Structure 1
Amino acid sequence: MSRFLTATVVGLLLAGTLALGAMAADDWPFWQRWFARVPAITGFGGNANAIPDLRSDFGGEAAPLTRRQPEPRLVAPLRQADAWMADRNSDAFLVWHDGALVFEHYYRGDAATQRPAGAMAKSLVAIMVGRAIREGAIAGLDAPVADALPEWRNDERNRIRWRDLLAMHAGLAWYRQETSPFSDFQRIIIGSDYQPRALALPAVAPPGEVFDYSAWTYDIAGLALARAGNAPYEDLVDRWLTPPLGLGPMRIYVDRDGGNVHANCCLYGRADDWVRLGALIADEWVAPRLLPDGFVAEMRKPGPDRANYGLGIWLGSPYEARRPIASTRNPYPTPVKSVIEQSEPFAADDVMIFEGVGQTKTWIIPSRRLVIVRFGSAPQDWDDAMVPNLLIRALQ
C-alpha cells in the first residue's frame, strides 16, 4: 500500500473517530435515533415517525370492567358496526353503555395487548390537569402556567393559562419541520433532553386567540404538570388515576432513562383503559369524585378560534364534512394538515372525541351514557359518524 493511500485511510479513520467523538459529546442517543430514521426521512422507506425504544413503564394491574349483554335494541346495530369496523383495518372495537362493557372484539391481539393511542394521550393530559386542580397542585384552569414554569415568568408567556394550553390557543411558535439532524425540530422530537427547546418556544400570538394543533403545547403541559405535582408525569398518573380507575399497564416515550415523557403522544396501553377514561367523562356521577366540579363542562367549551375543539378533546358539533386538524388562520408554519371525513352530523349534539392516529379514537356520548373505542390504522373510506350514529339512533 502506497504511503499516500495509507495516509488517506488513516486520515479517514481519524476523521471518523473525531466525528463519532463529537456526536457522543453532543448527544449520542440522538444520533443513534436519527440514523435509525434516515431511510424514512430521506424517502428510502421505513417509518419517519418511529418512536425510540425508551419508554417508562407505569400503570397497574387492570381492574375487571363490569360486563353484560347488550340491550336487545343494540344487538343488530352492534353486529352491523362490528362488520363495518372489521372491513376497515380495525385492531380493537369496544362499546360501553350505561355502566358496563356490552361489546368487545379484538381483531388483532387480545384484551391485554398494549396498543398505540397516539394523540389520544393529549386527552389524558387534560384529565390529569383536572386531577391536579382537584388535588390542589394547580390553582385552576385560569391560573398562569408560569406558576409551575419559572422560565416563563419574565416574558409575555406569563399570560398563558392552563386553559390556553389545553385549548391549543397558547400562541406559541413551532419549530419548522426539517429533516436535518442539526434542526431544532429533530432535536425536540428525538433528542435526549427536549425540555430546554420546548420551554424556549417564543410567543407569536396573544394567548387565547389563535388555534394551533401543537404537539409541543401538550409536551409543555406534561412538563408543567410534573413540576406542579413535584413528581414525574407518569408517577402522577399512577398516583391520581391508576388506582381509582383501575388502569392497566402502560408505556410512554421518554427522552432518556429517567428523563421527561413526551406527554403529547406515544402512549401504549390496553384498549379498555380508554373505556375507563371515556366513562369518566361520560358519567356525571363519577367525574365529580375525581375532577373538579364543572371541569367536564369546561372541557366541552369550544375555543374562540376553533369551534370543534375544547380542552384536550374534540367536539362533535358543529358538523364539518371534512374536519381539519390545523387552523386555517395560522400565522406561523405548522406541519399538521390532516382532515377527518364525516358523511353527516352526529345524531347527538354532545359527542366528544379523544382523537388518536389512523382513526384510533374514543367517542363519548354522555346523553346516551355511551363510550365507543376503536384502535386501528386509517382506511380509505372512513366515515367518522357511521358507527356512533348507528348506536346513538338505536338508543333513542
Structure 2
Amino acid sequence: MRPSLVALSLAVLAVPLAAEDDPLFERRWQSVLAGGYEPLTIPVDWYDPVAEVEGAPSPVATVTPQEAGIAPTALAAAAVWAEAQNSTALLVARDGNLVFERYWQGSGRDTRFNPQSMSKTVLALLMGIAIERGEVTSVDDPVSDYLTEWAGEKRGAITLRQMLHMASGLEQGDDGYGYEVTPENPVVRHSLGSDYTRLPLSLEPVAAPGETFDYNNNVNQLLGIVLERAGGADYEALLSERLWKPLGLADAAMPLDREGGMAITSCCILSRAVDWLRIGELFVNRGRHDGKQVVPEDWIEEMLEPSPGYPGYGYQVWTGNQQIGGERPPRVPLVPWQSEAFAAERVVLLHGHGGQRVYAMPDKRLVIVRAARQWPESWDDALLPNVIWRGTSAKGET
C-alpha cells in the first residue's frame, strides 16, 4: 500500500482547496480542451497514470439463442435499437453463458470501455467482502472509525450504511456548479487533479444523514479510502484479488490521481464489456461464480434492499422501477427513465454516465450489458431488459 495515506490526507487538508497550483490538473485540462472531450467521450487511453488491475481471464462459455431459450427476433430487435442509440457493445447472457455479442464503432471483445459509475456498485461488492473478512465491522460503524481525521466531528458520526445509500448529508463540494465542466468547478479540478482524497475529505455536512437521497461521487471516494485503510492495500489490489481474479476477468486499469497515488473509485474501471456480464451474474447467482461464493449471499440481498431516502436505490446500486412515463428527459438522466414498468419481477441496474448499463434479471437468469462512448438519441431504460425478458422462455419451456 502507498505510504502514509493518513498523513498525506491531513497535510493537504491543512491547505485551502483553491490555494495550490496543480500542474497535473493544468495539463489534463488543456488536453481535454484540445481534444474537445467531455467525461463521456474521453478515450480510454487518455488516462495517465493508471493502476493495473490484474485479472485471471477464463474462457467465455457460449450457447446459441435456441439453446438459451431466447428468441432470435428479440435479440435482433434489441440490437437494432442499441445501434440506433450509439452503442459500442451489446451482450446478453443466460445461466452464465454468452448468448449474444455485438459490437459497433470499431469495438470488439477485447476493447476496453469506461463503465463510469457502474464502478460504484463494484465498490459496494468489495465492502461486503471486507465485512466478511472482519476488516470492516459493520455498515453501522461511524465513518470516523476509519477516517480518523474526522473523529469528534459531526460528520464523523455518519455511518457507512448512510454513505452506501447516498444519504450521507455531506455537501457536493461543487460550489454550486453541479456537473458543469469548467475549471472553476472544484469537482472538475478534483477529477482531473493530482489528489483524489483532498476534496472528499474536506466535505462538510449540510443535512441530517440517513434521510435524503443525494447522489454524490465523492462519498463513494470516501468509501474507497475506508476500504484501503481497513484492508491495508491499495484499492486496485483489493479489486484484483477479491473480485477480478476470482471472477476470471481480463486485466483492467484504473486512473490514478498521480504516480503512486490513489485510484478513482467512483468511476472508470477501464475494462472489457464482456467482463461485466460476470459482475451482473453475481446478482443472479447470489454472489457465486463457478461454484464458489465470491461475495457473501446475504450481502447481495442487503445491497438490494430499498434505501430510506429513495426506494429505487440500495447500496451503490439501482434496483427495481425508477421514473416511469411522462415526458422523456434529455440524454440519460441521473435517475433512470422508463417508458413502462420493468417486465421482470426484479431488475438490478448498474448505471453509468452516458448509458453504460448492466441489467440483471434473476427470475430468468438473464444479464445484459450495454456500452457507449456517445450520448444516445432517445434513451429508455425499459426497452432492452423488457424486449429480452419477453423474448426469453421461462425455465423448462422451449
TM more than 0.5? yes
1:79 equivalent in structure 2: 76
1:355 lines up with 2:345 in the alignment: no
CA contact (8 A) 1:144 1:161 kept: yes
1:163 equivalent in structure 2: 161
CA contact (8 A) 2:49 2:256 kept: yes
User: Residues of 1 paired with 2:353 and 2:208: CA distance?
Assistant: 29
Q: Report deviation, 1:73.
A: 4.3
User: Residues of 2 paired with 1:157 and 1:170: CA distance?
Assistant: 9
1:220 equivalent in structure 2: 222
1:65 lines up with 2:60 in the alignment: yes
RMSD value, Cα: 2.5
CA contact (8 A) 1:254 1:260 kept: yes
Aligned with residue 85 of structure 2, among 75, 85, 88? 88
1:206 equivalent in structure 2: 208
Residues 47-88 of structure 1: per-residue CA shift (max 9 Å, x gap): 243465321121324211221112344322112212222222
Residues 90-143 of structure 1: per-residue CA shift (max 9 Å, x gap): 111111112311111122321111111111111111111111112221112222
User: Residues of 2 paired with 1:69 and 1:38: CA distance?
Assistant: 45
1:368 equivalent in structure 2: 364
User: Residues of 1 paired with 2:69 and 2:320: CA distance?
Assistant: 27
2:376 equivalent in structure 1: 379
What's the secondary structure of 1:347's corresponding residue? coil
1:328 equivalent in structure 2: none
What's the secondary structure of 2:324's corresponding residue? coil
Compare CA radii of gyration and give the structure with the larger one.
Answer: 1
Q: Report deviation, 1:35.
A: 3.1
1:47 lines up with 2:40 in the alignment: no
Q: Between 286-295 and 206-215, report the one with greater CA deviation.
A: 286-295
Residues 256-304 of structure 1: per-residue CA shift (max 9 Å, x gap): 0110111001221011111010001211261782223411111111221
What's the secondary structure of 1:83's corresponding residue? helix
1:34 equivalent in structure 2: 29
Q: 1:196 to 1:324 in 2, by over 3 A?
A: farther
User: Residues of 2 paired with 1:298 and 1:223: CA distance?
Assistant: 22
User: Residues of 1 paired with 2:140 and 2:279: CA distance?
Assistant: 24
User: Residues of 1 paired with 2:328 and 2:308: CA distance?
Assistant: 16
CA contact (8 A) 2:169 2:212 kept: yes
1:152 equivalent in structure 2: 150
The structure whose residues are more often helix, as a share, is 1
1:257 lines up with 2:259 in the alignment: yes
User: Residues of 1 paired with 2:108 and 2:387: CA distance?
Assistant: 25
| Aligned residue type for 1:340 | P
| Aligned residue type for 1:158 | G
User: Residues of 2 paired with 1:268 and 1:289: CA distance?
Assistant: 25
Q: 1:341 to 1:31 in 2, by over 3 A?
A: same
**Paired residues, what number?**
358
1:330 equivalent in structure 2: none
Aligned 1:1-396 pairs, distance under 5 A: 26-38=21-33, 46-49=36-39, 50=42, 52-70=47-65, 71-107=68-104, 108-175=106-173, 176=175, 177=177, 181=183, 184-284=186-286, 286=288, 289-317=293-321, 320-321=324-325, 338=334, 340-376=336-372, 377-394=374-391, 395-396=393-394
User: Residues of 2 paired with 1:111 and 1:307: CA distance?
Assistant: 35
> Unaligned stretches of 5+ in structure 2?
1-17
Q: Report deviation, 1:189.
A: 1.9
Q: 1:296 to 1:53 in 2, by over 3 A?
A: same
What's the secondary structure of 2:316's corresponding residue? coil
Q: Report deviation, 1:317.
A: 2.4
What's the secondary structure of 1:252's corresponding residue? strand
| Aligned residue type for 2:94 | H
1:3 equivalent in structure 2: none
CA contact (8 A) 1:324 1:337 kept: no
CA contact (8 A) 2:284 2:360 kept: yes
1:9 equivalent in structure 2: none
Q: Between 257-266 and 135-144, report the one with greater CA deviation.
A: 135-144
Identity %: 35
Q: 1:285 to 1:265 in 2, by over 3 A?
A: closer
